[in-house]
Homo-oligomer: A and B are copies of this chain.
Amino acid sequence: MSKSTKLEWRAQEEFFINLEPLQRGGVVPAESRKIALSYIDGYSTCDHCLGTLHILKKPPICDFLGEVADFLGMDRAILTHGCREAKFAIMHAITKPGQAIVMDENKHYTSYVAAERAGLKIYEVPSTGYPEFKIPPEEYINTIEKAKKETGELPALVLLTHVDWTYGNLVDAEKVGKICKEYNVPFLSNTAYSSGRMPIDGKEVSADFVTCSGHKSWAAGAGVVGILAINDEWTDKVFKPSQRYKVKPIEILGCSARGSSALVLMTSFPYVRERVKHWDEEVEKARWFSSQVESFGDVAQLGDKPHNHDLMRFETPVFDRIAQKHKRRGYFLYEELLKRKIVGIKAGKTKSFDLSTYGLTKEQLGYVIESFQDIINKLS
């Protein structure tokens, strides 16, 4: 029997509490699951093709994208395979190899790799380092100046990671946007961990481009899917069509995410639009969770304090000391949590770990806190 037919890895985590930071914002509501299933049998979004996906009326992808653009405070939006593909599409469309790009040190690795793929020279805005790792918006000025000095021209693009995946720090995009406007450089706000969770207004922060992750933050974890939103003035460059196939945008090779990932994103949208209104409750829960966990002693939440997001990194000497003496070493925590039907903290991690509280109830989080305490009591 071939190795890939051994399916013992089939997900059994359905009834578990999942704290995985990448996944909480992508959890798919029941209605969207049904849609995904009905689109899983070879019947695709292409049944009523009008030449390209983003103008489709049935399913109403065109209307949906208009609503998404409004929701983001931008003029136009198209689907991409993911947020990284949206970032690369922008870079490839508006920059030339050898030009400079400015991005924050807390960026997702894909921002860096996309810039490498586009042949750009990468300048990083440094964070304040341990323990808060903040990106001060005004630091963008220094980095833009540095890039200008070294390359002889302004950077071709400035990228901000609105909320970073490591510390869950929220940066003031409006200030960065204002700096970009003053320099007259295009501004990309990467909202992979913010849009779909919290309200976003691209216009308010003077963004030229907003990129989003459906599977990370728009309750569309069925597949991978992203959104690329732009302001009108960039239409000709970023949504440029093929010379021969006039309806096919070159940067998404005609059509990108289609089939169940697009459908799930769309079906989840009313739910997402509603949930962002309750963002303050999510922040409140995250702060409460953080304070409870810190109260164990020998635990410290890194990043913004008080915290402004559900993504958190904790330094956890309290668990690391147990790992030193435990026969399962660093794996004990993962295994102890698994026994308690809690997953999502990386196996082997005890010095520090990342988690997200997004969309979990206070009762569920209370159970997680009790479980941590229980493990400490049992093994310390």
Binding site for B on A (CB under 8 A): 2-7, 9-11, 13-14, 18, 20, 22-24, 26-28, 33, 35-44, 46-48, 58-60, 63-64, 67, 81-82, 84-85, 88, 92, 109-110, 112-114, 116-117, 215, 221-224, 242-245, 248, 250-251, 253-254, 256-261, 264, 266-267, 269-270, 273, 343, 347
Contact = CB atoms under 8 A, between A and B. Distances in A.
Contacts of A223: 222-223, 257, 259-261
A221 B4 contact: no
Contacts of A2: 67, 269-270, 273
Given A223-B260, A253-B84, A260-B260, A44 B67 contact: no
Q: When A and B form their complex, which 4 residue pairs have the shortest distance between CB atoms, in order from nearest?
A: A27-B42, A42-B221, A4-B64, A3-B63
A24 B41 CA distance: 9
B58 A39 contact: no
7 contacts: A3-B60, A4-B63, A27-B41, A36-B36, A81-B81, A222-B259, A261-B261
A6 B31 CA distance: 13
Contacts of A27: 41-42
A114 B215 CA distance: 26
B28 A67 contact: no
Given A10-B35, A44-B215, A113-B253, 17 more contacts: A2-B67, A4-B63, A4-B266, A6-B60, A13-B43, A18-B43, A23-B43, A36-B37, A36-B222, A36-B260, A81-B85, A110-B254, A112-B242, A112-B244, A113-B250, A116-B244, A224-B261
A272 to B, nearest CB: 11
Contacts of A92: 117
B253 A85 contact: yes
Among A35, A40, A63, max chain B CB count under 10 A is at A40
B3 A116 contact: no
A20 to B, nearest CB: 7
B60 A44 contact: no
